[in-house]
């Protein structure tokens, strides 16, 4: 243990791997059966002595489990999300003990509860059976629009027997930072058991190297609850914890040692803490309706760029600490500063939050409710409150914890699905905020749901208040991703576009299947769970790229489409972080960073942690200094086409203007040179211009607005009758760089291409790629769009500093490819979508 039936049977070869081919549908019977785990264990240390305690502790049971010890039922568990502690009497333990866990079918029990209490609304058919809302089990196990239906059972977290005289049943560290950024530490604790008489508690604060900073000993009785046993002001003794990109992440260890009067250690516990002050600021803006929705840490307001997070595996016992760590390190490499743990998964492992503390990743933590009309009858609420209390107690000391959120998309159902009641408001508006207020100090900000906020209570799509999930670009009216700037919000906590995974990942789930290698095949449908996915994908692909039936090219183009679309969202919304009183958009969390199995989805990295081009595009958009360009094409008639698109059909394109801006997330102004280069794809014409600007700190700065220049026509701009001719800017590429005025360091690049890409005859870039150890130097004679470099064969051992890049003549780029080890490279780019050796 830990154990999960699916993982055990898969590793034993007793069932086909559920993630490969169509095997998911061959193993559904597992979720309909009842399963028994049993073992024998010796009672170490002999029989219990008078006054000694023993608890049987289950950190997680999935989900309905009757527990028998030596033939006696000692626990009926019914909640996957919480630990269980069973106090035992001496008479219940023997020298050799038999433990039996009888797991029942959550699917069967959910259907029985639905029959008893009524059918509820719970999203579309893509997000699991509606009966799931009655069961406190990870909701994604019922199937989601990116995951399989695998109804796991088992002791999914550790099981142990604890013997003690007196123990620390609860320790609450209170790492506070006041309004003037002075840190202090308080501590409260509770004891369980009883040795009688006096006991002593020693509290020691140490730095990361183990050096003692402060300590104190307290006398107590073994029956009392100890509130604020210490209250230390620590000015000048500890440093503040900062999110990544804003400072360091110093962590400190609080050690608590419990001893009896003779000095014998009864129990001890350590917690790692960081000192920071975090607030969710919702205040009026200076010149727009509504309020901000922004995060402030230690008095610094910051633009958030990050990702939503789903469980990294459907077989949770395969989610090792090493996998957690590499996933979160990947996010930091991508310049992300927040991860949102989605409410249809699990409260994550301690290793997850520890890594976030160490890496400086802020955590938005949903409570485990997602896309469902959850009930509120008494027995259900009796499950929810202790679940929430235990989760908050476990997580509250983490420096990275920035927000506790009541649910995912439950309020949204009222307007989206037309339901007339939401009984669970009692959970989101009473139980959960009461728990958060009572159990966190300093108090963690609480938000009742995601999305939530608006002048109309049930209008969760109001872009002027609260957070929003922006799905108009995909699941709504299928608007053009070029219109992200018209479809933003104060904080966009979900948005995204899909793409196929890495070709090696596709090969993995095809396994030995030889056929079906075309975009709309049965196999690709099996590994694409979203409703209407192909229709929606076809719209975006057809609008932006030339139609292809070649499988390899199609896979590459889906990945480029996602990269262009998601990258544009980060770029445009970050521009709306315009400084005090004008923080119109304070964050973007893409749906999603990861997958629970190999699948086509919105993930920016696939199940095997293979980044898609989108990962690199968003990493560039979240650099401390960035430059952005938006092109607007003037047509001869009003129309509903994207403003960036050139038209040559019913409408004619007459001219184009461009806006260039810079973003500076640092807290200091930066003097830069803006270098703008122009290339014509249809001639040898090119031009350039240079300007010096000061980027204001912690905001965006508009730099330049002008007409897009183009080569001289050499003839009148109008036809003989006076009608204007189409603009020649439809073949113009605009490249911008920001260069530090003193060091000459290139801080940021962006290349704006005429759109849609399907109208461009991409030239041969005449690539020059030179490899020197782990450095890959790329130069071109003609501009190249979306250059994707890879190695032939196994790719996972290579870590790229950047990829899917645009390169223009005169601006060579050097990439770091750690682990290349002299292997040959292959390349793909727009105009040459099939990989070839270089």
Catalytic residues: 409
Measuring CA to CA, which residue among 740, 429, 800 is closest to residue 613? Answer: 800
Q: E strands within 387-488? A: 401-405, 446-447, 468-469
- Beta-ladder partners of 189: 171, 226
- Beta-ladder partners of 305: 588
Q: What is the DSSP letter of 108?
A: H
Cβ(616)–Cβ(803) below 8 Å: yes
User: What are φ and ψ of residue 482, in 5° steps?
Assistant: -65, -10
Residue 112 in tokens:
């029985």
Which residues, at least 6 apart from 535, have a Cβ–Cβ distance to it below 8 Å?
A: none
The position carrying tokens 């997070």 is 309
Pairwise CA distance, residues 219 & 199, whole Å: 6
Residue 500 in tokens:
């196929």
- Is the peptide bond prior to 285 cis by the omega test (within 30 degrees of 0)? no
Cβ(597)–Cβ(314) below 8 Å: yes
395 burial level (CB within 10 Å; 0-12, 13-18, 19+): buried
For residue 385, how many other CB atoms are within 10 A of its CB? 14
Residue 472 in tokens:
């108009």
- Beta-ladder partners of 38: 100
Cβ(557)–Cβ(545) below 8 Å: yes
User: What are φ and ψ of residue 431, in 5° steps?
Assistant: -65, -55
Residue 618 in tokens:
């968003």
Cβ(164)–Cβ(52) below 8 Å: yes
Strand ranges of the sheet holding 799-800, from the earlier edge strand across to the other edge: 768-772, 775-779, 813-818, 799-800
Measuring CA to CA, which residue among 609, 621, 582, 629 is closest to residue 754? Answer: 629
Pairwise CA distance, residues 738 & 692, whole Å: 9
Pairwise CA distance, residues 402 & 393, whole Å: 15
Measuring CA to CA, which residue among 746, 751, 613, 616 is closest to residue 681? Answer: 751
> Which secondary-structure segment (H or E) carries 332?
helix 321-333
Measuring CA to CA, which residue among 463, 494, 497, 535 is closest to residue 371? Answer: 494
């Amino acid at each position: 243990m830990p154990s999960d039936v699916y993982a055990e049977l898969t590793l034993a070869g007793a069932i086909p791997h559920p993630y490969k081919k169509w095997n998911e549908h061959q193993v559904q019977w597992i979720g309909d059966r009842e399963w028994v785990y049993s073992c024998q264990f010796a009672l170490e240390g002999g029989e219990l002595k008078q006054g000694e305690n023993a608890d049987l502790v289950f950190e997680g049971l999935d989900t309905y489990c009757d527990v028998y010890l030596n033939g006696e039922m000692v626990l009926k568990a019914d909640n996957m999300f919480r630990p269980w502690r069973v106090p035992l009497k001496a008479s219940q333990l023997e020298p050799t003990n038999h433990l039996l866990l009888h797991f029942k079918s959550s699917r069967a029990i959910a259907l029985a509860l639905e029959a008893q209490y009524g059918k509820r609304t719970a999203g579309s058919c893509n997000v699991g059976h509606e009966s799931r809302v009655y069961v406190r089990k990870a909701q994604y196990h019922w199937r989601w629009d990116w995951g399989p239906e695998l109804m796991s059972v088992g002791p999914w977290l550790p099981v142990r027997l604890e013997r003690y005289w007196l123990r620390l049943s609860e320790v609450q560290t209170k790492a506070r930072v006041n309004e003037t950024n002075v840190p202090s530490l308080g501590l409260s604790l509770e004891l369980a058991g009883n040795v009688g008489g006096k006991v002593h508690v020693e509290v020691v604060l140490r730095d990361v190297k183990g050096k003692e900073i402060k300590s104190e000993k307290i006398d107590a009785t073994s029956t009392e609850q100890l509130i604020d046993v210490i209250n230390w002001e620590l000015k000048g003794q500890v440093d503040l914890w900062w999110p990544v990109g804003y400072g360091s992440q110093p962590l400190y260890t609080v050690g608590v040692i419990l001893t009896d009067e003779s000095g014998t250690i009864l129990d001890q516990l350590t917690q790692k803490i960081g000192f920071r002050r975090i607030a969710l600021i919702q205040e009026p803006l200076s010149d727009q309706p509504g309020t901000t929705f922004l995060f402030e840490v230690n008095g610094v307001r910051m633009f958030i760029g990050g990702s939503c997070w789903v469980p990294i595996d459907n077989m949770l016992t395969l989610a090792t600490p090493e996998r957690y760590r590499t996933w979160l390190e990947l996010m930091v490499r991508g310049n992300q500063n927040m991860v949102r743990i989605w409410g249809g998964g699990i409260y994550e492992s301690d290793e997850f939050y520890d890594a976030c503390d160490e890496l400086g990743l802020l955590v938005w933590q949903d409570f485990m409710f997602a896309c469902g009309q959850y009930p509120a009858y008494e027995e259900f609420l009796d499950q929810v409150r202790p679940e929430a209390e235990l989760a908050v107690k476990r997580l509250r000391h983490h420096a990275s914890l920035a927000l506790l959120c009541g649910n995912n998309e439950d309020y949204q159902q009222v307007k989206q699905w037309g339901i007339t009641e939401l009984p669970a408001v009692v959970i989101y508006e009473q139980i959960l905020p009461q728990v958060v207020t009572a159990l966190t100090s300093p108090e963690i900000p609480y938000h009742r749901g995601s999305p939530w906020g608006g002048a109309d209570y049930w209008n969760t799509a109001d872009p002027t208040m609260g957070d929003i999930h922006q799905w108009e670009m995909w699941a709504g009216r299928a608007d053009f991703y070029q219109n992200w700037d018209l479809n933003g919000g104060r904080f966009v906590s979900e948005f995204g576009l899909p793409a196929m995974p890495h070709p090696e990942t596709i090969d993995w789930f095809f396994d030995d299947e030889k056929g079906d290698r075309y975009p709309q095949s049965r196999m690709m449908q099996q590994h694409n769970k979203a409703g209407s996915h192909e229709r929606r994908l076809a719209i975006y692909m057809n609008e932006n790229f030339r139609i292809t039936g070649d499988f390899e090219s199609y896979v590459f183009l889906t990945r480029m489409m996602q990269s262009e679309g998601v990258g544009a969202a980060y770029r445009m919304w970050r521009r709306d972080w315009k400084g005090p009183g004008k923080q119109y958009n304070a964050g973007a969390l893409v749906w999603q960073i990861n997958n629970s199995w190999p699948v086509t989805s919105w993930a920016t990295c696939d199940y095997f942690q293979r980044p898609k081009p989108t990962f690199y595009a968003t990493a560039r958009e979240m650099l401390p200094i960035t430059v952005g360009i938006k092109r607007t094409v003037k047509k001869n008639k009003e129309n509903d086409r994207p403003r960036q698109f050139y038209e040559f059909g019913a409408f004619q394109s007459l001219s184009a203007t461009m806006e260039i801006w810079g973003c500076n997330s640092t807290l200091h102004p930066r003097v830069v040179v803006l270098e703008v280069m122009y290339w014509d794809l249809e001639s040898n014409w090119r031009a350039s211009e240079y300007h010096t600007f000061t980027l204001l700190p912690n905001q965006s700065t508009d730099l330049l607005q002008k007409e897009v220049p183009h080569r001289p026509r050499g003839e009148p701009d109008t036809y003989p009758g006076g009608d204007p001719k189409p603009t020649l800017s439809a073949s113009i590429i605009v490249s911008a760089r920001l260069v530090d005025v003193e060091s000459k360091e290139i801080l940021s690049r962006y290349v704006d291409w005429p759109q849609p890409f399907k109208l461009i005859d991409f030239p041969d870039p005449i690539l020059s790629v030179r490899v020197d150890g782990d450095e890959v130097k790329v130069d071109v004679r003609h501009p190249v769009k979306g250059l994707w470099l890879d190695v032939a064969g196994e790719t996972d051992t290579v870590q790229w500093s950047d990829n899917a890049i645009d390169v223009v003549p005169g601006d060579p780029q050097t990439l770091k490819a750690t682990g290349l080890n002299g292997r040959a490279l292959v390349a793909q780019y727009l105009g040459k979508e099939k990989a070839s050796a270089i």
